[in-house]
Amino acid sequence: MKKSAGKLFATGFLKSFLFFVFFFAVSLLSYRLVVHFLDIEDGGYEEFIPPVEKQQPITEARLDDVSKHLIYCVDEDDGSIKKIVLEILDCKKVKLFYITIPIKTKLTLSDSLHSKLVLIKPSIPQFLKLSAITGYIPKEIAYEYGVLIIEELLNIQISYYSVVPSSLYETVFTGKNNINNSSEDGYPKEVFSDGFIEFLHSIDTETQLRSYIKDIYNMIYSNLSYEDKLNYMETYLKIQGKDIHFDLIAGTDSNSAYTIDYSKASMQLKSYMGDYIGE
């Protein structure tokens, strides 16, 4: 006698259900045996989440006997670079130098550095001016890559850098025509303002200088920490006015660009840093 469709469905469903129960029981038993014999804690499972890699700094600050401090004067609204000054502090000879690097300096990026920057901004040219750095590179990393560009341009190792808003920068520095420059008009070099010179005369103690540095650090960004900056405080206090020098990186100025004379610039920097020029 033929079975009804309902009975056939019920029989098939029951067989499937019993098979599923049997399969589940065997699987559970196998799992329990593995846990028991291998002494594995039965704590379920944890989803594997790959660790997030910490972004490595492009450049790292360092403390040097002859420190090379790159100072960026930047626009407070868009972060564009307005001026660049290299501060060289010789802790052994107790001398301080400020070298102006014109932002309209034209340069050629090396193939290796250019290939890195192309990954950030494919349209960045290999031939450009220093003023174009923040135009091609996001300002979050522009100043660090600017350090690499300056290092390559001048063949030196920068110790650390600082980003200074123009309103603060202009209380410290002012432009002065460089009468020793061979170009017709002469690109102005940066020197201390009269107001800042007067302020320096008022600093006599370590406490005063420490307080000033702390105030400055609240207004700028530097990859050298405030605590590390204090390592240079003793030298700053010892420096006499006659041992502070201002200069313009050797080169030729024109209306459109500044061209560094690499031979003269190398001798110029060596006269300030001696054997520390490439360190």
- Output the DSSP codes for 119-166: HH-TT--SEEEGGGHHHHS-HHHHHHHHHHHHHHHHT----EEEEEEH
The stretch 127-137 carries a mean pLDDT of 96
The stretch 254-264 carries a mean pLDDT of 94
pLDDT at 30: 54
Residue 158's φ and ψ, nearest 5 degrees, are -75, 135
Q: Is the pLDDT of residue 25 over 70?
A: no
Q: Is the pLDDT of residue 210 over 90?
A: yes
Q: What pLDDT, in 10s, does the model give residues 227-251?
A: 999 999 999 999 999 999 999 999 9
Q: What pLDDT, in 10s, does the model give residues 140-183?
A: 999 999 999 999 999 999 999 999 999 999 999 999 985 554 44
Of residues 27 and 9, which shows the higher confidence score?
27
Residue 199 and residue 214: Cα distance in Å, rounded?
A: 16
Q: What pLDDT, in 10s, does the model give residues 40-68?
A: 444 444 444 444 344 677 899 999 999 99
Q: What percent of the chain has pLDDT over 90?
A: 72
* 272 within 8 A of 90, measured Cβ to Cβ: yes
How many Cβ atoms sit within 10 Å of the Cβ of residue 58? 14
Buried b / exposed e across 237-272, counting CB within 10 Å, b at 16+?
eeeeeeeeebbbbbbebeeeebebeeeebbebbeeb
Q: What pLDDT, in 10s, does the model give residues 58-110?
A: 899 999 999 999 999 999 999 999 999 999 999 999 999 999 999 999 999 99
pLDDT at 223: 98
Distant-in-sequence, close-in-space partners of 19: CB < 8 Å, separation ≥ 6: none
Q: Is the pLDDT of residue 270 over 50?
A: yes
pLDDT at 177: 80
pLDDT at 252: 95
pLDDT at 61: 97
Rounded to the nearest 10°, the torsion over CA 216, 222, 228, 231 is -60
pLDDT at 148: 98
Q: Is the pLDDT of residue 119 over 90?
A: yes
